[in-house]
Structure 1
Amino acid sequence: MAMSTGSRRANQGGGVQSVERTFELLELMADAGGEATLSDLAEASALPLPTIHRIMRTLVSSGYARQQPSRRYALGPSLIRLGETASRALGSWARPYLAELTEATGETSNMAVLDGLQIVYVSQVPSQHSMRMFTEVGRRVDAHATAVGKAVMATMPADSVTQLLSRSSMAPQTERTITSIEAMHTELARIRRLGYAVDDGEQEVGVRCYAVAVPNAPAGAAISISGPEARMSSISTDEVLPLMQRLSRDLGAELNTSGESE
């Protein structure tokens, strides 16, 4: 079983080691699709099995993990409330930045985060046009077919992208959806070069979306504007991109709390 460890929290300054290890195991389980065996976690984390077993027992007793009849461990129901509350808070922080973007462009603006293999929309400010794009907050969609998903993936190491996409079906949403890992890597290289991502009818026919990643956010995140293709084609990316990048930088700075002093 392959799981990406990325840059984990171990040995970060001043952290309580047991807490860091607990979050590391939860993140590894999330990376693996929500469940894993003790040996999977030991291989991915390099922690001793007795340590992992002790942490998992604690997580199970508090509802943050559960042990299945197969002896595999899965993420538990107590995480749902935490996730929903965090999502609402994130949406509240993002809303003023999205409101400025919608006011400047006239189109619907969104913020979304990468959660496992999918993108989750956490905030939105709708356009005032009678014909506008509406994505329900909380909606989950496959990352490969969205501008926000591609913007986030463009910030990730190539091997992490390959691992993510290899676990996804990359199912076509329209005839324009990118459905191969090789083609996606080519697309991500273009996004890094241009500084923004485009969904040109890849998720929904007739809809275009521009997105930029939110730098320094604690989790992979992006903001976007979306609307009917005919209206979006009249928007100059040379004019709107600097605004989106400024707003994403400001939002990322607000979300990034890693530099707070104790």
Structure 2
Amino acid sequence: MTQQTRTSGVQSVGRALDILEIIDAAGGQMALIDMSAASQLPMPTIHRIVRTLVDRSYLRQLPDRRYALGSRLIPLGNTARDVFGSQSDAELAKVVDELGETANLAALDGDMLVYVGQVPSPKAMRMFTELGRHVHPHCRAAGKALLSQLTDERVRGILQRVGMPAVTPATITSQDDFIAELARVRREGIAREFGEMEEGVVCLSAPVPSPSAHLAVSISGPQSRMTEELQARALPVLRDVATRLSAQLA
């Protein structure tokens, strides 16, 4: 195999992955002409890539001739989620040992938040999250931490597509207010949630620093135990764990 062939092969794989990421960023569906504009690739090249991805079920064609992410990506995503969870357990256990509250690892999957790892608090009254379930990101500290890693324009697109339902009276339901909240998260490096998903529950979350992986580590517990003193102790713990997880997972 010549150097030219190897370079061409790598370029083709890179272009195919670029197309999948572009469609994902657009909400999971896209027309060919929009793919071409976003990738700056000519239409014949887009046609060849998309045809291959459709043949392998990584994309599927919709009745309106747009293309959507395909079923083959689902088991790959599930496997990746399981790997993330198993590799994070030791770090999450350290958080629980030090702070005594439930620790979670969350990921951004398309426009939604999904919890991929959890180590529960040993206390009788504790928080539980269903692993693998997709939930709205705007009312959770982990969602704020994850969305803080994106541009405001992309965040507004996500919020427009999935909505901002009011789960409790404390839930942020204004895009402008949420964007302002993300600015604070970026400044402080920590996201906070005070009864926005469930009344009487406090959650803190730190984004896992990575240019590619969208992950966040969090702790949650009842307001009576999540005192200001515990929150102050939690901040460096979460940041340290997020940094270590970045080296392991990102």
| TM-score (norm. length: structure 2) | 0.92
In the TM superposition, what is the alpha-carbon distance from 1:178 to its structure 2 partner?
0.7
Provide the C-alpha distance between the structure 1 equivalents of 2:29 and 2:155, rounded to a whole number of angstroms.
20
Query: Structure 2 counterpart of 1:201, which letter?
Result: G
The residue number in structure 1 matching 2:196 is 202
The residue number in structure 2 matching 1:222 is 216
Same amino acid, percent of matched pairs:
47
The residue number in structure 2 matching 1:125 is 119
The residue number in structure 2 matching 1:39 is 33
In the TM superposition, what is the alpha-carbon distance from 1:237 to its structure 2 partner?
2.5
The residue number in structure 2 matching 1:72 is 66
Q: Structure 1 residues 149-158 or 81-90, which shifts more?
A: 149-158
In the TM superposition, what is the alpha-carbon distance from 1:217 to its structure 2 partner?
6.1
- Once superposed, which parts of structure 1, at least 4 consecutive aligned residues long, lie more than 4 Å away? none
Query: Structure 2 counterpart of 1:182, which letter?
Result: D
Answer 1 or 2: which has greater helix percent. Answer: 2
Provide the C-alpha distance between the structure 2 equivalents of 1:30 and 1:203, rounded to a whole number of angstroms.
26
Q: Structure 1 residues 197-206 or 162-171, which shifts more?
A: 162-171
The residue number in structure 2 matching 1:88 is 82
Query: Structure 1 counterpart of 2:187, which letter?
Result: R
Q: Structure 1 residues 24-33 or 84-93, which shifts more?
A: 24-33
Provide the C-alpha distance between the structure 1 equivalents of 2:230 and 2:121, rounded to a whole number of angstroms.
17
Provide the C-alpha distance between the structure 1 equivalents of 2:67 and 2:186, rounded to a whole number of angstroms.
37
Q: Count the aligned residue pairs.
A: 244
Whether the 8 Å CA contact 1:94–1:123 is kept in 2: the answer is yes
Give unmatched runs, 5+ long, in structure 1.
1-12, 257-262
Provide the C-alpha distance between the structure 2 equivalents of 1:222 and 1:216, rounded to a whole number of angstroms.
10
Q: Alpha-carbon deviations, 1:168-203, whole Å to 9, x = none?
A: 311111111111111012211222233211111111
Q: Secondary structure at the match of 1:167?
A: helix
Closer/same/farther in 2, CA of residues 188 and 58 from structure 1, 3 Å limit? same
2:106 is aligned, of 94, 107, 112, to 112
Pairing 1:1-262 to 2, within 5 Å after superposition = 16-216=10-210, 218-233=212-227, 235-256=229-250
| TM-score (norm. length: structure 1) | 0.88
Q: Structure 1 residues 49-58 or 68-77, which shifts more?
A: 68-77
The residue number in structure 1 matching 2:4 is none
Provide the C-alpha distance between the structure 1 equivalents of 2:199 and 2:8, rounded to a whole number of angstroms.
50
Q: Secondary structure at the match of 1:110?
A: strand
Closer/same/farther in 2, CA of residues 15 and 255 from structure 1, 3 Å limit? farther
Whether the 8 Å CA contact 1:217–1:255 is kept in 2: the answer is no
Q: Alpha-carbon deviations, 1:25-78, whole Å to 9, x = none?
A: 111221222221111211221111111111111111111111122211111111
Query: Structure 1 counterpart of 2:225, which letter?
Result: R
Q: Secondary structure at the match of 1:16?
A: helix
Give the RMSD, CA atoms, in angstroms. Answer: 1.8
In the TM superposition, what is the alpha-carbon distance from 1:234 to its structure 2 partner?
5.5
